[in-house]
Amino acid sequence: MMNLIDNYKIINSETDTSIILLHSYGKTEKRKKDGNLKDTKCNKKEDESSEVFAFNTEEKIKSMMEVFNKHIAESRANTMEKRARRNKLVFLVGINIGIRAGDLIKLKWNFFIESLNSDGTVEKFKEYYDLKPEKQKKQNKFVRLHFNETVRRAINEYVENFPITNLEDYIFFATDNSNEHISYHALYEMLKKTAKEAGIKENIGTHSLRKTWGFWCWHKAMDKSKALTILQKCFNHSSVETTLKYIGLLDSEIKEMYNSIELGMEYI
């Protein structure tokens, strides 16, 4: 039996020195100079599944929304309500625009909004936004994103309660008095806790938001083959099979195939 930590090595860079711990179960943890875990991963435990699932039924989405609304209603202070509304907004935006969590947490108000009213509410939304995803910056590639009515309504609801003062501010703030965005790990923990409270049994993580968008794009499409081809391009996947698996369809298709075959039953 191998030890939990089989080996380690020091990696030097211009910005910092990190210790990468190589675990026997194939995962790594990156640490800063001070020994704290880096925020680039959600640092899953050994006994946790690495696969996360989409919110692939209306009931699951409704259950999540009920928990978010409950937290807003039960907020005892302005700061608590603001954070509860932020959590609801990041969920709704995440499942409706389908970008990676690393890009989602860095969104600013000017991503969506063209101009503001004098009271800090939205005067005009943008028709679309050309985003340069973090993972494609080296290729200088952009993705054009469009915003549906759900995103607009969710933003309007938020700013009616907490008006915008600066379009350059991060939407999903870390703390009320900071100009930093929510961390990847904080988003991960929030989604897992909310899903647990909502009674969702499947493993939920940050990828659940993007997977949910992909699943429902396919589910609502009239031409599902065409939808898969478009999703493959949106996700930058190497094959349709990868896209099928990513949005949680491959397993269900395999299960359906197994259940469709009953051989020898009449002879039992």
Q: How confident is the model at residue 70 (pLDDT cuts 50, 70, 90)?
A: very high
Summary mean pLDDT of the chain:
82
Q: Which pLDDT value is given to residue 7?
A: 34
Closest to 87 in 3D by CA, of 103, 108, 65: 65
Alpha-carbon torsion, ordered 102, 108, 113, 115, to 10 deg: -170
Q: Tell me 12's DSSP state.
A: E
pLDDT tens for each residue of 189-240: 999 999 999 999 999 999 999 999 999 999 899 998 998 999 988 888 889 8
**This prediction's pTM:** 0.75
Nearest-5° Cα angle at 216, 211 to 221: 135
Report the helix count and the strand count for the chain, using DSSP H and E.
9, 7
- Beta-strand pair 113-116/122-125: antiparallel
pLDDT tens for each residue of 124-174: 999 988 887 776 565 666 778 888 999 999 999 999 999 999 999 999 999
Amino acid at residue number 107: L
In the structure encoding, which two tokens stand for residue 243, read together?
């896209």
Strand partners, 144: 130
Q: Tell me 108's DSSP state.
A: B
Q: Which pLDDT value is given to residue 25?
A: 32
**Enclosing H/E stretch for 61:** helix 58-73
pLDDT tens for each residue of 100-129: 999 999 999 999 999 999 999 999 999 988
CA 92/CA 106 separation, integer angstroms: 15
Cβ contact 243:225 at 8 Å: no
**Enclosing H/E stretch for 95:** helix 78-97
